[in-house]
Amino acid sequence: MAPLRRWWVPLALPALLAACGDGPSPAAPAPLEGVRTQLVGSGQDGAGRSWDGVVEAVQQASLSAQTNGRVTEVRYDVNDRVAAGEVLLRLTAVEQQAGVDSARSQLRAAEAAAAEAESSYRRYAALAEGQYVSRLQLDQARATRDAAVAARDAARAQLSDAGQQTAYTVVRAPYAGIVAAREVEPGEAVVNGQRLMVVYAPGALRIEVQVPQADAELIRRDPTAAVRLPDGRQVEAAQVIVFPSADPASHSVTVRVQLPALEQPVAPGTTAKVVFPIGQAGGLPRIPRSAVVSRGEVAGVYVLADGRLGLRQIRLGAVLGDEVEVVSGLKAGERIASDPLAALQALARQRQAGAGHD
C-alpha cells in the first residue's frame, strides 16, 4: 500500500485555506490541463469494503529430500495429477542399502549373542538352585544376558533406521492432488532438506487478508464475504474466520476466508478480491490514499469547485486498503484531484492567470 504523499507545498495549509476562502475571484479561471479528478465515494454504495488476498490451498505440501542421493527417475511434471501414495520420483539407494545390509548383519550377531547369553543364564540359574555356583556368578550371568538383550534391541533399531533411510529414496504423493512445482531433474544430486516438488489438493482453497481492528469487529458480527476471482466469477465464501488476536507490528487482524467447492478451481498464488458487507450504512467518505497531501500532522486534498482548485484541510480516519476514510473536511460527491503534484502545478497556473487579470 502506498504511503500518503508528502509533496512540498510553497505555502502552509492554513494560508492556502484562507486564500481559497472569501476574496476577489479572477474573471476567468485558468484551464486545468493534465489534472485528473474523481468524485468522493460515500462509503454507502452497498458494495462493502474489499481487500486483495492471495489464494492458497488448504492442503499444500513442499516435498523435500530426507536423505542424500542422486535423482534416478522423475515420473511427474508440473500440472500433472497424482493419486495418493503415487511414486513421484526416486533417488539412488546405494549407501542406504549398504546401511541396511550392515545393520542386518549386526542384528544377526546381536541375536546370536543374546541367545547364547540367555542359555548361559538358564544353566547358571539351574546350578544355583543346587548351590553349585555362587550368587555372584548367577548375577554376572544375568547381567551378561541383559546386556546382550539390550544390544540386540539396539541392533533392531539400527536396522529400522537404515530401512527408513532406504524408504526415503522413494518420494510419494502425500495425498491426491496436482504437482505445482518440480525443482529437480534426473541425474541431479540432492542433499537432505533440499526441496524436490510441491503438491497441492485443488479441492479446498482459502484466502487470508489483513484488515484494521475496527473492521475486524464488524466482520465478527456478520462473518460473510463475497470473493471476486481473477477470471471474473464471484462466489460466496463457505466460511469466514476472524483471528482472535492482532499483529503487534501492524495492529491488523487476519481474516481467513474459505472458498466453496468450485467446478473450475483457481490456481493457488493468484490474487482475488474479498468483499465484506460492512460500512454500507453511515459510512464515511473514502478517497484514494495517493490523493492526500500530508505535511507533518496535517492532511489535505485538492478540491475542484466552480472550476477552481483549492487545497482543503481534512481529518483522516481508518485506512482501507488503498483508500482512507475522511472524518471531516470533505463530503461525498465532491470532486478532488487524483494527482496532488499535477494539482499543485495547475494551482500555480491559476494564480498566474489571476495575476494577469489584475
Topology of the domain covering 13-46+283-357: 2.40.420
Q: What is the largest CA-CA distance in the chain?
A: 134
Angle value at C-alpha 163, between 161 and 169, nearest 5 degrees: 110
**Dihedral Cα 78, 81, 83, 85, nearest 10 deg:** 0
Report whether 291 contacts 338 (CB < 8 A).
yes
pLDDT of residue 44: 52
Domain 94-167 top-level CATH class? mainly alpha
> Average pLDDT over the chain, rounded to whole?
84
The cell for 23 is: 476574496
Long-range CB pairs of 313-316 (<8 Å, 24+ gap) are: 313/13, 313/14, 313/17, 316/292
Q: What is the DSSP letter of 290?
A: G
Distance CA 51, CA 274 (A): 5
Distance CA 100, CA 85 (A): 23
Q: What is the mean pLDDT of residues 321-339?
A: 85
What percentage of residues in the chain have a pLDDT greater than 90?
Answer: 47
7-64 pLDDT, tens digit each: 444 434 444 444 444 444 434 344 466 688 888 876 554 557 889 999 999 999 999 9
What percentage of residues in the chain have a pLDDT greater than 70?
Answer: 85
Same fold, 13-46+283-357 and 49-58+202-276: no
Report whether 9 contacts 294 (CB < 8 A).
no
Report whether 346 contacts 336 (CB < 8 A).
no
pLDDT of residue 210: 92
Choose from 20-29, 62-71, 260-269, 281-290 the range with maximum mean pLDDT.
62-71
Distance CA 308, CA 122 (A): 110
- Does domain 60-91+172-200 bear CATH number 2.60.120.10? no
pLDDT of residue 62: 93
Report the Cα–Cα distance between both ends of the chain, in Å, rounded. 44
Domain ranges in the chain are: 13-46+283-357, 49-58+202-276, 60-91+172-200, 94-167
104-130 pLDDT, tens digit each: 999 999 999 999 999 999 998 988 888
| Chain-centroid distance, C-alpha 72 | 33
Distance CA 223, CA 218 (A): 8
Q: Is the pLDDT of residue 261 over 50?
A: yes
Task: Specify which residues 294 forms β-bridges with.
Answer: 299
Topology of the domain covering 49-58+202-276: Elongation Factor Tu (Ef-tu); domain 3 (2.40.30)
Query: Higher confidence at residue 20 or residue 184?
Result: 184
199-236 pLDDT, tens digit each: 999 888 999 999 988 888 889 988 999 999 988 888 99
